[in-house]
Amino acid sequence: MTVRYVESCKLPTKWGVFDMHGFEDPEADKEHTVLTMGNVADVETVLVRIHSECLTGDGLFSVRCDCGAQLEEAFRQIAAAGAGAIFYLRQEGRGIGLLNKIKAYNLQDAGADTVEANEQLGFGADMRDYSICRPMFDYLGIKRVKLLTNNPRKVDALGEMGIEVVERVALQTGKNPHNEKYLATKAGKLGHLIGGDKT
């Protein structure tokens, strides 16, 4: 795995001050960050969100998805807990990139769902690789987590890399009339657990 630590700094946010840790993956030409609150290496079970970049939802306030709302809720819950980590991965559009995501949105405007649009462009339904997180977990000394996610694939990926997930904490937020089909597709075709349960 080529991901390596570069540097850290303080990042004040409206939820409090986080430490921002920069990592680079020269092989994939990607840069990733982890935002931590508290000394996570000393926390037995760390509240963690693994969040893939979504410029449209996180930065441009789109309501076509629930990404921005989930990111904000993760910040809020970690700040309330006093400790935790947000892994912000540069895997836009479930790994297909921003311009292909715009193409996929165009296909969705014409009636395709989010999975069909990716497949029509020649991609898999979800191209993300969570194994890139392993060097980041190792650097931060995190071995046991409560994971903020609706996606069982993330739970499985962490287990495969030796990170114990003791609880999946549902992130049920951001639903609106513009993303009802999107959320239904995530549940029906990608196995996301939409409904507020915990496992």
- Is residue 123, in this structure, part of any structural domain at all? no
Instruction: Tell me how many domains the chain contains.
Output: 1
- Is residue 104, in this structure, part of any structural domain at all? no
Q: Is 76 a catalytic site residue?
A: no
Domain carrying residue 27? 4-91+128-190
Residues in Cβ contact with 29 at an 8 Å cutoff, skipping those fewer than 6 apart:
none
- Is residue 22, in this structure, part of any structural domain at all? yes
Assess contact for 125 and 189: CB atoms under 8 A: yes
Catalytic residue among 25, 58, 66, 126: 126
Mean of the per-residue pLDDT values of the chain? 89
Q: Can you give the pTM of this predicted structure?
A: 0.89
Catalytic residue among 49, 94, 128, 168: 128
Question: 131-161: b or e for each residue (b if 16 or more CB lie within 10 Å)?
Answer: ebbbbbbbbbebeebbbbbbbeebbebbeee
pLDDT of residue 199: 32
The CATH number given to whatever domain includes residue 170 is 3.40.50.10990
- Is residue 99, in this structure, part of any structural domain at all? no
Assess contact for 114 and 185: CB atoms under 8 A: yes
Distance separating the N- and C-terminal Cα atoms of the chain: 30
Q: Is the pLDDT of residue 152 over 80?
A: yes
What's the mean pLDDT in 130-146? 95
> What is the distance between the alpha carbons of residues 82 and 13, in angstroms, rounded to a whole number?
14
pLDDT of residue 22: 98
Q: Is 126 a catalytic site residue?
A: yes
- Is residue 111, in this structure, part of any structural domain at all? no
- Is residue 199, in this structure, part of any structural domain at all? no
What's the mean pLDDT in 43-52? 96
